[in-house]
């Protein structure tokens, strides 16, 4: 049994009540449903409603005031089962009375779903996300960097631009802007510096190598990853899989996102063999070793337009964007969404998954019978598999997504 936790399952509950008198806190449906699961040795019920209190007042059981529990001296002789939806207030009150969660009381397992819902609806977080939406509308819409306040749904636009990847280094943000190059913003999202990128390179992902003091940027149209010195912005390394671009002048792999983990640089691309121009999307994630300066292998293949490689909670994660799947190594599909997903983070409790308006929904015929065109992001609880969607109806795409205030140390 999980001591110190009031959230348990019925096998644990049945074991916990053995040889003890059971007190239920709360009348009505949840008492009735829970009491039918097992033949509990019910002593009495407590309920805060005066209308419910009295001898044999509920299904023949005495209903008493909750304050009575404060005066129980031999707490190990009793076990309290909470059957009211005001469970958080009840838990706090029982702890004040000297009862220990798990050992002396629990919430009925039938209310476990309510905990997931309450926790998710009340969860507070700030999400920073980028959009490359080029549709000409008002200054508070379109591409740029946004902060979304969860759960209030307040949206703040911090900068305008055709922005895709961004990363944080010390107190500054390094933001890839297709029109301006790499923009350096302070912690208040004010432009303090920038440096240009090659023309028409269509930059996507970016990651900061704080140890080597480098900025890696994916130049999608050039089929390259370029490393810039973080101090003088000079190019110090170029990673290219083939010479096809130099020969043809068009991209063939369509690299998009990158993730740095130690000496390994993970790169996602639409075509491993370099046949994007033939509409061959044999998508993959490769590993590039920075020490040996070469590709060391294919980490994942048989994907469909993958994005958002991240090391989260000590595990490598990525999005199979077209199929709408979140994968966590070892390649398990943790969940599925019905839209084009791009942008991924984890705050220590929930995963955050961005979703863009689906521009390729015609390709999904025969694969999905419900294709979402909504733009926004999900928070996803991997334990319960529950999710909640936060809409950004004035945007058409989300590229990169990061939580502003992680709840625990993550990479």
Q: pLDDT tens-digit profile of 79-101?
A: 999 999 999 999 999 999 999 99
Query: What is the layout of strands, in order, in the sheet containing 283-289?
Result: 255-261, 264-269, 283-289, 294-303
CATH, domain range 10-120: 3.40.50.720
Measured distance CA(119)–CA(150) in Å, rounded: 12
Query: What pLDDT shows up at residue 137?
Result: 65
Statement: residue 317 has pLDDT above 90: yes
Measured distance CA(145)–CA(270) in Å, rounded: 25
Statement: residue 282 has pLDDT above 70: yes
Query: What pLDDT shows up at residue 408?
Result: 52
Measured distance CA(284)–CA(166) in Å, rounded: 22
- The distance in angstroms from the start CA to the end CA of the chain is 32
Higher-scoring residue by pLDDT: 2, 148: 148
| Mean pLDDT of the 361-372 span | 88
Query: What pLDDT shows up at residue 27?
Result: 93
Q: pLDDT tens-digit profile of 121-175?
A: 999 999 999 999 987 666 668 999 999 999 999 999 999 999 999 999 999 999 9
**Domain residue extents for the chain:** 10-120, 127-403
Statement: residue 62 has pLDDT above 70: yes
Statement: residue 1 has pLDDT above 60: no
Q: pLDDT tens-digit profile of 252-279?
A: 999 999 999 999 999 999 999 999 998 8
Query: What pLDDT shows up at residue 327?
Result: 96
Higher-scoring residue by pLDDT: 379, 408: 379
> 324, 338 in Cβ contact below 8 A?
yes
Looking up tokens 């239920």 gives 24
Query: What pLDDT shows up at residue 409?
Result: 40
What is the pLDDT of the chain when averaged over all its residues?
Answer: 93
State the CATH class of domain 127-403: mainly beta
> 315, 328 in Cβ contact below 8 A?
yes
Specify the pTM.
0.90
């Amino acid at each position: 049994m999980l001591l110190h936790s009031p959230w348990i399952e019925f096998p644990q509950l049945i074991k916990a009540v053995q040889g003890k008198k059971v007190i239920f806190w709360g009348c009505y449906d949840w008492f009735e449903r829970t009491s039918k699961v097992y033949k509990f040795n019910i002593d009495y019920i407590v309920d805060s409603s005066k209308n419910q209190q009295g001898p044999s007042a509920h299904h023949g059981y005495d209903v008493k005031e909750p304050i009575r529990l404060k005066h129980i001296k031999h707490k190990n002789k009793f076990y309290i089962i909470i059957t009211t939806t005001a469970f958080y207030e009840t838990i706090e009150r029982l702890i004040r009375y000297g009862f220990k969660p798990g050992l002396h009381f629990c919430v009925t397992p039938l209310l476990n779903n309510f905990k997931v819902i309450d926790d998710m609806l009340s969860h507070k977080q700030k999400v920073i996300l980028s959009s490359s939406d080029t549709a000409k509308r008002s200054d508070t819409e379109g591409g740029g960097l946004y902060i979304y306040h969860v759960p209030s749904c307040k949206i703040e636009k911090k900068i305008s631009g055709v922005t895709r990847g961004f990363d944080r280094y010390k107190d500054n943000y390094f933001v890839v802007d297709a029109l301006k190059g790499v923009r350096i913003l302070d912690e208040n999202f004010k432009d303090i510096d920038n440096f240009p990128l090659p023309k028409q390179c269509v930059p996507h992902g970016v990651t900061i190598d704080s140890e080597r003091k480098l900025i890696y940027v994916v130049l999608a149209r050039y089929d390259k990853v370029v490393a810039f010195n973080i101090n003088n912005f000079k190019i110090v390394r170029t990673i290219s899989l083939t010479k096809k671009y130099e020969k043809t002048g068009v991209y063939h792999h369509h690299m998009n996102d990158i993730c740095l983990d130690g000496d390994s640089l993970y790169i996602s691309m639409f075509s491993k063999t370099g046949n994007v121009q033939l509409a061959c999307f044999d998508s993959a994630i490769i590993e590039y070793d920075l020490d040996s300066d070469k590709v060391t292998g294919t980490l994942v293949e048989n994907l469909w337009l993958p994005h958002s490689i991240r090391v989260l909670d000590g595990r490598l994660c990525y999005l199979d964007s077209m199929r709408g799947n979140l994968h966590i190594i070892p390649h398990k599909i943790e969940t599925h969404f019905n839209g084009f997903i791009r942008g991924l983070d984890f705050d220590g409790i929930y995963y955050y998954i961005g979703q863009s308006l689906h521009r390729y929904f015609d390709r999904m015929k025969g694969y999905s019978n419900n294709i979402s065109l909504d733009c926004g992001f999900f928070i996803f609880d991997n334990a319960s598999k529950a999710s909640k969607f936060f809409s950004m109806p004035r945007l058409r795409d989300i590229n990169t997504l990061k939580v502003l205030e992680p709840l625990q140390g993550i990479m």
